Structure 1
Amino acid sequence: MTIRMECQTLPVGELLSGSRIYSMPIFQRPFAWTADEAGQLLDDLQTAFHNSTDLNTDKAYYFLGQLIVSQSNPNAPFEVVDGQQRLVTLSALLAVLRDLLPPGDAREHLQHHIERPENAARHLPRCPRVRLREIDRDEYTRWIAEQGGSFALPDAGDTDATERLVEVISRIKDDIATPHQKFITDFASYILNHCYAVLVIVSNTLDAYQLFRSINARGQPLTDIDIVRGEVISIYQSTRLADAWSQIEDQIGVEQLSTYVKSILALVHPPTQQMAFRDGLNSVLSHPSKALLFTDTLKKFVEIYDELESCELTVAEGNEELNRIVSCVKALPFDDWTPAALLWLAQNPSEKATVDFFKALDALGLGLLILGATSNTIANRMRRVVQRIVAKDCLSSANSELYLTDAERKKIREKLARPIGNKSRFIRPLLLRLNAELLDKTIPTYFPTKVTLEHILPQNPGPRSLWRQKFPDSKERQQFSQMLGNFAILSTKVNPRASNFDFHKKREKIFGASDSNIFPLTAQLISYEDWTPDAIKKRHDQLTEIARDILKL
């Protein structure tokens, strides 16, 4: 394949002048340089500047490497394929130098290299010379493009990229400190006139990307996940896909995303499980049909992540049962189930199979909590569920890791039948899950993050309390107070004194309060005339039966 290109060797002052705008294409990764990398570039520039006693010699110049861009027509902005890190860092450096200068011509001249001024005659609006991906664009404008912005930074950014941008600008300010004005103007002049880069212009983004892969030079090295991102998003050219990908990277990090991608590679081509990631990726991408299946599945995977976050699954449209069970799974106090759910949904399963899958996932997650599984045990179990999905026998095999084993079910039945300790990790999520099951089906499920657990029969009633008359045996009273049937959930914290009220007063003041009625699990207590051992046993049996149904016991 022949790639037609134009090469220009230009100083920074020309790179960032005229009508030139550098925009990040949708498949471009976020800004990734750390403060150390930016500090190294600044140190190189300052060293070169201090050594440039004679500006007419070759030693007076500093070479920044190449920038690879595409431009569809002469009036279009440059789409940056290679060079984002240097362009952003150079702009941040110029912004700091600008903000160290007093108002005047020197400051305005620098500003024109950071932000293109409006040119009404040419119909060119004012615009930052460098445009980051849309999610980070406003912050870049405030901190770099706007005058004074580099000295009005927040403590941190909202995304990983803006977090790094804050660190980079702060590092530049710290390293430059507060020099005299002549140093600022001379250093800025050196950067604009004596620091060069080779601008490689290709007519389309795909050719530019292929060129980048071939000659990836100085800059942030390509990671495996960068290659995947470029391959997938450059094929579909979808802004929504790019935004969803960026959201995943920001929320879960590159390492976790790489794990997801490895699972999809294994799903498409099982032998990749025994290969290094790069080798497996090359194996799949070099095979036309497998490459298409991989990119299609990964595209679906990324889009589903976005749907899952908002609880608006396309597969669940019009299926209230599926929507409800997905919201229950999302309420689990861990997110190790996410890879399995995404991988399952990325295969375009049937609606019925998806309902069965999420019911089993709900039962497994809640069951592992009741069993007291550690975070490592849960993570390992969910990884084995992913393996079953890859093997395509996740639902069909009776021995699938998606299902609780007979031994696990037996142990759960035993734990639910016994008194539950105050510090049991599972009691809160279990009660909220039972509450969701009791909700009217016309009401969306909800799982408040702040709820108070209330023992209807107090654990330590006062010496003259009526509770001691109803439950005279202290050992039996303690056991009844810890039974599942004796728990209620409240939206507000109850005064310790109120917790020891007799049942009738509790029913009126606490369980009958308007904010308690949002929980049907608690509101049902209004129907009890008294709270006796038989009442606790009755409610315990009712709640246990609901739990058994959820957990498929």
Structure 2
Amino acid sequence: MGGRTFLVVVGTPDLDSAHRIFSVMNSRGLDLSPTDIFKSLIIGDLDERTAQECARKWEDAEEALGRDDFADLFLHIRMVFATRRGERELLKEFPEQVLSHYLPGRAKSFVNDVVVPYADAYVQIRDASYSAASGAEQVNAWFKRLQQIDNNDWRPAALWALRTHGKDPAWLDAFFNALERLAASMFIRRVYTTPRVTRYADLLRELNAGRELDAPSFILTDTEKTETLDRLDADLYLVARTRKYVLLRLDEMLASKPGVSYDHPLITVEHILPQNPKRGSDWLRHFTDDQRQQWTHRRPKRRPSTSPASMASPPSR
């Protein structure tokens, strides 16, 4: 065997090239991920005993999150450190913007002070599993609300909060109240990615500067408030991405049950005022054409439905 074995050394100019070559040559098993590269850089900076300890912690964190969520975690960590939107691939930016603070010489600190606590925070947010002697229910309720929004751009700020104030549930309650208000407003107004991420980047810079609960980026301008209210008062049913979120939040408020979860396999939004009432029905007698046009798709005349039996419009007489 030894006589038929050849060792080939392949040199590359940068990590990006190394990753690309490995991906091409690795015909079996899982593809090499950026986090695998980062792990090799960190472990390679440690003595053998410390390397084994940190490798175990790293692998435990990856197992707790799963491969995909663990990869997402590093995107969020990059955002926390860089406080700006990514411009290049993670494989290039993460070493420059994050690992450069720890390599060489502080690799153990990166594992203990960054990977482990941020992975733990990620699990608490994802699973709404924050625990405390008191106040945990309110914090977990905010996690459930935020996860109804159709993007994760709020998550780096949430991770920062748990990482820095994880033992203060009252502070977290106030923080996530403000964060959900901001996230919900941008969601309802359909703010697109670039200004949305820029707003969260500004927030992270303010948080790192010590502004915390009074961070200016939390505050909605008068224009933003007006636009949010206008969107809520418009034909909400026709905005498919936001209508369910808004109605479930209203349902939670009306039920006075914070953080209520909706685990039904199907949740639909149904009209109380029928879209196509039958000729001669009371709907046509009590509502003019103009009134039906105004109210059919608007918020006060709808409710969420979870069972087929409740999906039918009220019977006409």
Q: CA deviation at 1:421?
A: 4.6
Q: Deviations over 1:332-358 (max 9, x none)?
A: 222222222112211135322211111
Give 2:123's aligned residue. 306
Give 2:296's aligned residue. 481
Q: Distance in 1 between matches of 2:136 and 2:122?
A: 19
Give 1:539's aligned residue. none
Q: Do 1:388 and 1:394's aligned partners in 2 also have CA atoms closer than 8 Å?
A: yes
Q: CA deviation at 1:457?
A: 1.0
Q: CA deviation at 1:227?
A: 2.3
Q: Cα 1:248–1:228, aligned 2, differ >3 Å: closer, same or farther?
A: farther
The structure having more radius of gyration, on CA atoms, is: 1
Q: Cα 1:377–1:299, aligned 2, differ >3 Å: closer, same or farther?
A: same
| TM-score with structure 2 setting the length | 0.73
Q: Distance in 2 between matches of 1:317 and 1:63?
A: 63
Q: Do 1:428 and 1:453's aligned partners in 2 also have CA atoms closer than 8 Å?
A: yes
Give 2:170's aligned residue. 352
2:38 to 217, 221, 224: 224
Q: Cα 1:433–1:474, aligned 2, differ >3 Å: closer, same or farther?
A: same
Q: Return the letter of the residue paired with 1:431.
A: L
Q: Return the letter of the residue paired with 1:319.
A: A
1:332 to 137, 149, 160: 149
Between Structure 1 and Structure 2, the one with more strand by share is 1
Q: CA deviation at 1:304?
A: 1.6
**Counterparts of residues 432-471 of structure 1 (less than 5 Å):** 432-441=248-257, 444-446=260-262, 448=264, 450-471=266-287
Give 1:127's aligned residue. none
Q: Distance in 1 between matches of 2:259 and 2:231?
A: 31
Q: CA deviation at 1:454?
A: 1.0
**Counterparts of residues 105-184 of structure 1 (less than 5 Å):** none
Q: Cα 1:449–1:285, aligned 2, differ >3 Å: closer, same or farther?
A: farther
Q: Distance in 1 between matches of 2:145 and 2:263?
A: 8
Q: Do 2:189 and 2:228's aligned partners in 1 also have CA atoms closer than 8 Å?
A: yes
Q: CA deviation at 1:478?
A: 1.6
Q: Return the letter of the residue paired with 1:333.
A: D
Q: Distance in 2 between matches of 1:478 and 1:235?
A: 68
Q: CA deviation at 1:253?
A: 6.3
> Between Structure 1 and Structure 2, how many residues are aligned?
288
Q: CA deviation at 1:229?
A: 6.7
Unaligned runs of 5+ in 2: 10-21, 84-91
Q: CA deviation at 1:449?
A: 5.8
1:260 aligns with 2:79: no
Q: Supply the RMSD in Å over aligned alpha carbons.
A: 3.9
Q: Distance in 2 between matches of 1:221 and 1:414?
A: 44
Q: Do 2:78 and 2:94's aligned partners in 1 also have CA atoms closer than 8 Å?
A: yes
Q: Cα 1:458–1:355, aligned 2, differ >3 Å: closer, same or farther?
A: same
Q: Cα 1:454–1:432, aligned 2, differ >3 Å: closer, same or farther?
A: same
Q: CA deviation at 1:462?
A: 1.5
Q: Distance in 1 between matches of 2:242 and 2:94?
A: 37
Q: CA deviation at 1:466?
A: 0.9
The sequence identity of aligned pairs, in percent, is: 22
**Counterparts of residues 269-418 of structure 1 (less than 5 Å):** 277-279=94-96, 281-286=99-104, 292=109, 295-315=112-132, 318-349=135-166, 350-397=168-215, 399-400=216-217, 402-418=218-234
Give 1:501's aligned residue. 315
Q: Return the letter of the residue paired with 2:247.
A: L
1:63 aligns with 2:27: no
Q: Deviations over 1:41-60 (max 9, x none)?
A: xxxxxxxxxxxxxxxxxxx6
Q: Return the letter of the residue paired with 1:415.
A: R
Q: Distance in 2 between matches of 1:247 and 1:425?
A: 30
Q: Distance in 1 between matches of 2:81 and 2:305?
A: 46
| TM-score with structure 1 setting the length | 0.45
Q: Do 2:117 and 2:163's aligned partners in 1 also have CA atoms closer than 8 Å?
A: yes
The answer to which of 387-396 and 457-466 deviates more is 387-396
**Counterparts of residues 188-227 of structure 1 (less than 5 Å):** 223-224=37-38, 226-227=40-41
Give 2:87's aligned residue. none
* Paired residue secondary structure (1:395): helix
**Counterparts of residues 505-544 of structure 1 (less than 5 Å):** none
Q: Distance in 1 between matches of 2:134 and 2:59?
A: 24
Unaligned runs of 5+ in 1: 1-10, 13-59, 67-84, 93-160, 166-219, 268-274, 506-553
Q: Cα 1:495–1:416, aligned 2, differ >3 Å: closer, same or farther?
A: closer
Q: Distance in 2 between matches of 1:317 and 1:239?
A: 32
Q: Do 2:144 and 2:259's aligned partners in 1 also have CA atoms closer than 8 Å?
A: no
Q: Deviations over 1:3-58 (max 9, x none)?
A: xxxxxxxx48xxxxxxxxxxxxxxxxxxxxxxxxxxxxxxxxxxxxxxxxxxxxxx
Q: Deviations over 1:137-177 (max 9, x none)?
A: xxxxxxxxxxxxxxxxxxxxxxxx65x59xxxxxxxxxxxx
Q: Return the letter of the residue paired with 1:313.
A: Y
Q: Do 2:149 and 2:187's aligned partners in 1 also have CA atoms closer than 8 Å?
A: no
Q: Deviations over 1:425-453 (max 9, x none)?
A: 31111111222233354885336462111
Q: CA deviation at 1:265?
A: 4.4
Between Structure 1 and Structure 2, the one with more helix by share is 2
Q: CA deviation at 1:411?
A: 1.2
Q: Distance in 2 between matches of 1:61 and 1:294?
A: 40
